Chains A and B, each alone.
Chain A
Amino acid sequence: MVDQRTLAYINLYAVLGTLENLCELDPAAGALLTNKKPISIGFEIKGGPSATLTFKNGRCRMEQGVGDCDVKLPFSSCEKFNGLLDGTVTPVPSKGFAHIKFLLKEFTPLTDLLAKYMRPNPEDLKDEEFFRISTTLMFYTIAVAIAQIANNDKVGKFTANLIVDGDIEMSIANGPAATLRAKNGRIVALKRAPENPRAIMRFESIQLARDLFDGKINAVATIGTGKITMKGMISMLDNLNRLLDRVAFYLA
């Protein structure tokens, strides 16, 4: 059974957190953000995570905590917040009513655009640029989701405890890269390659990564073909793959 608290962490940091990358990758996303002044939206989830998305000059940035946000969206439980993502819950701000227009006219279309990339229809994926952006966003979502599962999910925590300290590079050749920084049984995800990785898992192509993320191929099966490069502390990657399996459990 899906743990709602873990799912809330994934939905906030991994899914909504990918808005950062969407604004960088798709000019249409930046164009949706017409506000002149920076606006920040805080998500405060009882018994779960909290974070603030700040929109400025067509860019987006996520930080932990709600601090001094312009709009605050409180959720009484992780289930309620997860309902926001699956469209069954409509949020009511506790602060920032003056910015309702931004929420409705800019933020909502932005999240709709994200959904278009994250749950693409097969026709859209035939467009090379759409495919690249969609897979890149999926890559970042998965990288951050791995960390959330490692730190919150019961099975994920057991697996994370087996990972020795150090940076893991997960990357696509000529594409995006992420650092999964393991320390004392916890993992932090950074959306850039590590300078000094202790283990590397690199996908040969964006198509291969897509097939892996879509569950069409298995990482272990693909190693023999040489299309996935693994080196360094292989035990870290072995356990990383178990966390990767668990991502599908939450995001399928």
Chain B
Amino acid sequence: MSFKINKYDKSRKAFERAEKVIPSGVYGHLGPAEGCFIPVEAFPIFAEKAEGTYFWDVDGNRFIDYMCAYGPNILGYGDKDVNAAAFEQSKIADCTTSPSFKMVELAELLVDTVKSADWAFFAKNGGDTTTLAIMTARAATRRKKIVFVSGFYHGVAPWTQKLGYPGVMEEEVANNLYIPWNDFEAFEKIVDENEGEIAAFIATPYMHGNFQDNELPADGYWQKVRKLCTQKGIVLIVDDVRCGWRLDLAGSDHYYGFEADLICFCKALANGWNLSALCGKDWLKSAVSGVTYTGSYWLSAVPFAAAIACINKMKKLNLPEVLRKKGLMLTDGLRIAAANNGFNLVVSGEPALFYLRTADKDNNLMLHQEWVAECVKRGVFFTNHHNHFMNAAMTDEDIKFTIEVAEEAYRVLRKNHPEL
């Protein structure tokens, strides 16, 4: 079978207009630079519409979307149950002077659902919650230092960036300490070297950093970290913005058998309706209450209604198990497609958020970038160096189609690289 090769004339024209009035045309992770569109010509720039597991670009090309808007799409774009709840709420009230009681209902649902949650604090983006988590930890402990795992991503606030990044002052990252992932001895050492000064340890449930094979926690890692944090009065923060709801509806800390002090959610929380939440243990409720932190749209009711519907539907579907099975079916097929053409596709991370790398002897990722480009040109939207996301709307037929495209893309690579 030979697949249609996409053209992006309208996307390119739209981008030319965009770059005149918008910095970088499309900035951030959805844009060609941070999104690693390699080469740019292989990727669509603007979407026209989305439904279920697909989006269509402005040129009318359809894509099976394995990025799911970088996570928010968990039930399918435009899920009828979630949207019905949101539209119904929009008829009643959304952004009002006194918040809707939906806020309380959602907080109660989160406390009932998320194992480590005794309370919930709402905002809009994942970065809002990681920043609040850090401020809460500092307020509670009256300490200033934060331990990070190298290769981390916790948003774009200055404290989450690194020395040398444009616009970031040295003082803003002066209290950041770095250790390798899965290295408990390094954590012990840094805690010892900074006795009484560390406010928090922040990490994702497993290492799903970009540009590297993703790595699951070693046996007993989180349990040892939890124990040491408790002993030393260090707040344990889990950034579950990316993994949250795809591994375990009770929280990814629960999935890996420990309890965080603070856990950050966003992305899939409301299936694309803009909302984030910091949940935490009771002993930090007083501290978080004292932090000055708010935003114009943080208590809007429509996303609360959407989140309630989303969580209830995810529970009904036992969604993490569904996504795991779909992820395994897909990645097994992709591996075989690669092997059929003499390539080695390395799959890492959790199946619901799989990470891909076509191995090459030079370890420079160029072969993988070529393969991803060939897939995208044929209507399967993968990205080069970021984990992917499964969603509930993806069918077995979609997965079969994807594997066929992947196989054809590998055949193109084989033809283009007779030397390999």
Q: Which residues of A contact B (CB under 8 A)?
A: 155-156, 158-159, 162, 166, 196-199, 218, 220-221, 223-226, 229-235, 239, 242-243, 245-246
B362 cross-chain contacts in A, Cβ below 8 A: 196, 198
Contacting A at CB under 8 A, from B350-381, are 362-366, 369
Decide if A199 touches B38 in the complex (CB within 8 Å): no
A204 to B15, CA, bound (A): 18
B19 at the interface (CB under 8 A from A): yes
Contacting A at CB under 8 A, from B157-171, are 162-166, 170
B33 cross-chain contacts in A, Cβ below 8 A: 220-221, 223-224
* Residue from A156, A166, A197, A231 within 8 A of B369 (CB atoms): A231
Decide if A245 touches B166 in the complex (CB within 8 Å): yes
Decide if B164 touches A223 in the complex (CB within 8 Å): no
> Which residue of B has the minimal Cβ distance to A230?
B38
A-B contact pairs, 10 of them (CB 8 A): A155-B163, A155-B170, A221-B23, A221-B33, A224-B26, A224-B45, A225-B25, A226-B41, A231-B39, A231-B366
A159 to B31, CA, bound (A): 23
B24 at the interface (CB under 8 A from A): yes
Contacts A221-B23, A233-B211: A226 and B164 contacting too (C-beta < 8 A)?
Answer: no
B177 at the interface (CB under 8 A from A): no
Decide if B36 touches A234 in the complex (CB within 8 Å): yes
Q: Which residues of B contact A (CB under 8 A)?
A: 15, 19, 23-26, 31-34, 36-41, 45, 162-166, 170, 210-211, 362-366, 369, 384-385
B45 cross-chain contacts in A, Cβ below 8 A: 224
* Residue from B32, B41, B163, B366 within 8 A of A159 (CB atoms): B163
> Which residue of A has the minimal Cβ distance to B384?
A234
A199 cross-chain contacts in B, Cβ below 8 A: 364
A162 cross-chain contacts in B, Cβ below 8 A: 162
Total cross-chain contacts (CB, 8 A): 79
A239 cross-chain contacts in B, Cβ below 8 A: 164
Decide if A231 touches B38 in the complex (CB within 8 Å): yes
A182 to chain B, nearest CB (A): 13
The interface centre, meaning the residue of B19, B24, B170, B210 with most chain A CB atoms within 10 A of its CB, is B24
B369 cross-chain contacts in A, Cβ below 8 A: 231-232
B170 cross-chain contacts in A, Cβ below 8 A: 155
B31 to chain A, nearest CB (A): 6
Decide if B164 touches A159 in the complex (CB within 8 Å): yes
A232 cross-chain contacts in B, Cβ below 8 A: 364-366, 369
Contacts A159-B164, A234-B384: A226 and B40 contacting too (C-beta < 8 A)?
Answer: yes
A246 cross-chain contacts in B, Cβ below 8 A: 164
> Which residue of B has the minimal Cβ distance to A149?
B164
Decide if B31 touches A224 in the complex (CB within 8 Å): yes
B24 cross-chain contacts in A, Cβ below 8 A: 218, 220-221, 224
Decide if A234 touches B32 in the complex (CB within 8 Å): no
Decide if A224 touches B39 in the complex (CB within 8 Å): no
Nearest 5 interchain pairs by C-beta: A224-B32, A223-B33, A159-B164, A235-B211, A198-B364
A151 to B309, CA, bound (A): 54
